């Protein structure tokens, strides 16, 4: 009978440790999933911004201005509740030369902040970049 009483405390300690490890694992999986989601949103926003930037307006050969592209990217991120992103647009990135024609590309860089919820790691920056050739070359 006295053996069962000492084992009861050991079972409680084992359960406490197991539950702690289990919830740490679950919260780590949730945190990683959220971080990957923000990274994917930054990548998609950069891609969407560069796609918007390289296609001329219908019926013209005029490309959108860099400010319009930044607004487009920020609106894309805002639709996914990501705020505080740093967006830079370079519409004059010189690429390679093909048959004497210099190809000009647009580079869109997005730096989106990610704040941890469950762990005290602070805020990190998710960086993404997309490059597309301008269609009016």
Q: Over its length of 137 residues, how does the chain's per-residue pLDDT go in tens digits?
A: 555 555 667 888 898 999 999 999 999 999 999 999 999 999 999 999 999 998 877 877 788 889 999 999 999 999 999 888 999 999 887 777 778 878 888 899 999 999 888 888 888 999 999 998 887 64
Q: Check if the beta carbon of residue 47 is closer than 8 Å to that of residue 91.
A: no
Residues 6+ apart with CB under 8 A from 32: none
114 touches 126 (CB < 8 A): yes
Collapsing DSSP to helix, strand or coil, 59 comes out as coil
**pLDDT value at residue 117:** 86
pLDDT of residue 96: 75
Grouping H, G, I as helix, E, B as strand and the rest as coil, residue 23 is helix
- Residue 136: per-residue pLDDT: 63
Separation of alpha carbons 11 and 99, rounded Å: 77
At 72, list the tokens. 């487009």
Other CB atoms closer than 10 Å to residue 4's CB: what's the count? 7
Give pLDDT, residue 116.
87
The predicted pLDDT at position 47 comes to: 95
**Quick one: how many helices (H) and strands (E) in the chain?**
2, 3
pLDDT at 75: 94
pTM reported for the whole predicted model: 0.79
Q: CA quadruple 112, 118, 121, 122: dihedral positive or negative? A: positive
């Amino acid at each position: 009978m006295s053996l069962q009483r000492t084992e009861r405390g050991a079972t409680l300690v084992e359960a406490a440790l197991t539950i702690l490890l289990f919830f740490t694992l679950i919260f780590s999986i949730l945190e990683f999933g959220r971080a990957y989601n923000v990274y994917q949103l930054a990548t998609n926003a950069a891609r969407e911004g560069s796609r918007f930037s390289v296609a001329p307006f219908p019926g013209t050969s005029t490309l959108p201005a860099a400010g319009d592209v930044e607004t487009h990217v920020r609106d894309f991120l805002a639709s996914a509740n990501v705020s505080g992103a740093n967006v830079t647009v370079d519409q004059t990135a010189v690429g390679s030369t093909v048959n004497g024609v210099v190809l000009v590309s647009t580079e869109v860089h997005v730096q989106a902040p990610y704040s941890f919820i469950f762990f005290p790691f602070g805020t990190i920056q998710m960086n993404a970049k997309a490059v597309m050739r301008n269609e009016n070359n």
